[in-house]
Structure 1
Amino acid sequence: VDPGPLLASEGAKRQQALDILAAAVERVTSAGLKVVFDLHGVTQVPAYSMETIYDGADSEGVASYREMVVAVATMLARVGTDKVAFEPYNEPAYYPCDSSGSDDWQRIMADTVRDIRAVSSELTIVATGACGGSIAGLVNLTPGFDDPNLYYSFHMYEPHSFTHQRPDGTGAFASGLPWPADSSTPEKVTETLKAQMDAAGLSPVEQMMNMVAAREAIARYFEHNWGPSQLEASFRQAVDWAEAHGIPSRRLFMGEFGAILMSADGRMGAFDADRLRYLTAVRQQAERFAIPWSVWEFSNPYGMTVIRPEGPAVPDQEMLRALGLP
């Protein structure tokens, strides 16, 4: 849910928005499902985007956001604390996530948990680390505010060079990296990319310029030899952090994972077979450690979707199999 309209309103207007959201949540819970209510900031209106919370823990923007969070928590508690979980932040920035960074995000997250707990001791909260909600951000968080009804989110898009294969410039190409890396070679990826550029009618000069950037990314990906062992190491970081703080891994939450599907023109994304192998590998790692998960997403223009990207809105059966779903 975009928090922008809630941040932009107050009084009766905000209550009207909250009532609409409550009705939407109840439509889902009435079907026997539970809801993770995620405040997911967008950038269309910068004044009410996540930028509002990036001026430090003591800023007016953070105070306004926390006040809005209390209103949402109050609404969700009325819907039913046995039916919903509340994730008040999505992929917060506050880089870097090491000793050179500030303690602003630590304070914001801890204060927000206290705000919600003042509303309800039973509402499930999903906390997150900084640095885009990554594992690096999670392990930099000190969960002094922990309680048994609190989950800790991280998003898994590692390596980003595989999951988000898309070019920077208009008309450029960046696609075809395999999963795992050792299932192909840099030469094969380069040949495939060149064939796709030929098919698209790029001139030799355009192809040459594109390959200058692409070759570096391809070489770096294969140099790291991305595969199951690196995925396991990333998950281990999260699990080790949880264990160090006495938190069972079942209270970690992989709130997002996914990979861009190759576009019809071959300009971006992974081949479907590679995408499906990646999704399977990530899902299995999470389940190995008893970590609940949520995939990104139901519908998405980049093929990161559980329904088929084209035609009628029907499930992508191959993707469902990769997710271990019937």
Structure 2
Amino acid sequence: MKVLTVIIGALCLAVASAGAGPLPLHRGIGVHEWLNWSPLDTDGSYRWPPYRSEKEWLSGSRPLSDWPRGDEFRRIKAMGFDFIRLTVDPGPLVASEGEKRQEALKILSDAVEQVTSSGLRVVFNLHGNSQVPAYSMDLVQGGADSEGVARYREMVKDVARMLVRMGTNRVALEPYNEPAYYPCDASGSDDWQRIMAGTVHDIRSVSGDLTIVATGACGGSITGLTDITPDFDDPNIYYSFHMYEPHAFTHQRSERSGGFMSGLPWPASGGTAKAASAALTERMDKAGLSLAEKLANRVEARPIISDYFRENWGEKQLDTRFQEVAEWAGKHGIPTDRLFMGEFGVILMSQDGRSGAFDADRLRYITAVRELAEKYHIPWSLWEYSNPHGMTLILPKGPAVPDEALLRALGLKRS
């Protein structure tokens, strides 16, 4: 009888393990402008109740009449996405407690319900910003034992409770976005390791089934992820990284007010430093910059352009980075389909030519990154759905329609 009991127990464990796994995610897109910028009162505090309505979001940078009628999330679903990465300002939650926090959580749960009723899953990402400095991401940068981290982690448990009530078959929780804690090498501290492990423990005290999206430090990069030891792993955890490499290409813009930095080709072998510099000068001439302004821009742009072509960025370097994160996962017994490319994208060339990449180069890069993620069976989320800043699926002006060429680059629309 004792042997039979052991056998039955082992079979039950095997069945349970076979069914274990995170929320299925494949192709997603970030929705950032809706809940990530909670409106402020005149004194700089959060407006209450917090967060923007859907109409406030859609009309934030364009007339509401630009948008077609109907459910926006069903529209996203029809494009071929199976989830959205919904970024949420944690500030109002940290700033409140008791009934006020529950009021904020109710607004957020209604928003998640609206999205999931369309058939989309949701990665609920707590995505700090600097609107109210006391509740920015600086709150969690003071070390693993700081009061700010303790307050933040308590808030995360309340969010986890809210999401569990919504159904762990529909939602996942990503408690941090692009944390700092540099440097990510042997000279760094173990603070982020302790914070991430402790936060996983907190969420697991609420639910063993809720999917967690964990991240490394150093801006959520591959380097940051491979620097952590996932000794807190379980089958319901994804491991996130963001792919904006090389940053000189994906985020082409000047650090100077009114400066020019744009037009690097993808891959680098598609051009030369001399040609890129000459084309940049032509755009400055067309914009009517003074000689002094052009000289200042050339001083800034010269090392960026030189380094980009010297490093000869292309798909080979991208593949090396994907291999690095895949090898980290393999070392720790984590299948690559539990990695998560939570953001990738490229700033499109602005109308005045000051910033961004030409469309053909942008599309080649996005295609390459998406195909590499799929080669390694890594789910991905594009940054982002709609904004006026150059990384957007919905065209920023005129009728709010998707960029058809970008959908093709994502493998969601046939040529």
Tell me, yes or no, if structure 1 residue 216 matches structure 2 residue 303: yes
Output the amino acid matched with 2:253: R
Q: Which runs of 5+ in 2 are unaligned?
A: 1-87
2:106 paired residue number: 19
Q: Give the one of 96, 104, 108 matched to 2:195.
A: 108
Q: Deviations over 1:249-306 (max 9, x none)?
A: 0000000000111100000000011001000000000000000000000112221011
Offset of residue 47 of structure 1? 0.4
2:340 paired residue number: 253
Tell me, yes or no, if structure 1 residue 175 matches structure 2 residue 266: no
Tell me, yes or no, if structure 1 residue 324 matches structure 2 residue 411: yes
- Matched ranges for 1:174-253 at <5 A: 174-253=261-340
Q: Give the one of 138, 157, 161 matched to 1:70.
A: 157
Tell me, yes or no, if structure 1 residue 305 matches structure 2 residue 305: no
Offset of residue 150 of structure 1? 0.4
SS of the residue corresponding to residue 253 of structure 2 reads: coil
Q: Give the one of 369, 373, 385 matched to 1:286.
A: 373
Output the amino acid matched with 2:199: T
Output the amino acid matched with 1:63: A
1:132 paired residue number: 219
SS of the residue corresponding to residue 158 of structure 1 reads: coil
* CA RMSD after TM alignment: 0.6
Q: Deviations over 1:164-222 (max 9, x none)?
A: 10101112100001100001111211111111101111112211121111111101100
Distance 2:287 2:281 in 1: 10
2:94 paired residue number: 7
Distance 1:191 1:223 in 2: 17
Higher RCO structure (Cα 8 Å, ≥6 apart): 2
SS of the residue corresponding to residue 127 of structure 1 reads: strand
Tell me, yes or no, if structure 1 residue 38 matches structure 2 residue 86: no
Identity of aligned residues (%): 68
SS of the residue corresponding to residue 169 of structure 2 reads: coil
SS of the residue corresponding to residue 342 of structure 2 reads: strand
SS of the residue corresponding to residue 195 of structure 2 reads: helix
Q: Give the one of 62, 85, 90 matched to 2:177.
A: 90
Output the amino acid matched with 1:239: A
Tell me, yes or no, if structure 1 residue 295 matches structure 2 residue 370: no
Output the amino acid matched with 2:238: Y
Distance 1:161 1:101 in 2: 25
SS of the residue corresponding to residue 380 of structure 2 reads: coil
Output the amino acid matched with 2:168: T
1:141 paired residue number: 228
2:45 paired residue number: none
Distance 2:154 2:199 in 1: 9
Q: Would you say how many aligned residue pairs link Structure 1 and Structure 2?
A: 326
Output the amino acid matched with 1:289: Y
Output the amino acid matched with 2:149: V
Distance 2:397 2:330 in 1: 43
TM-score (norm 1): 0.99
Distance 1:61 1:48 in 2: 9
Q: Which runs of 5+ in 1 are unaligned?
A: none
Distance 1:95 1:139 in 2: 13
Output the amino acid matched with 1:142: T
Tell me, yes or no, if structure 1 residue 153 matches structure 2 residue 240: yes
Distance 1:27 1:145 in 2: 32
Instruction: After the TM superposition, list the runs of 4 or more consecutive aligned residues in structure 1 that deviate by more than 3 angstroms.
Output: none
SS of the residue corresponding to residue 294 of structure 1 reads: strand
2:138 paired residue number: 51
Q: Deviations over 1:67-106 (max 9, x none)?
A: 0000000000000001001000000000001110000000
Distance 2:177 2:389 in 1: 20
Greater Rg over alpha carbons, structure: 2
Distance 2:392 2:127 in 1: 18
2:208 paired residue number: 121
Distance 2:188 2:387 in 1: 34
Distance 2:371 2:308 in 1: 22
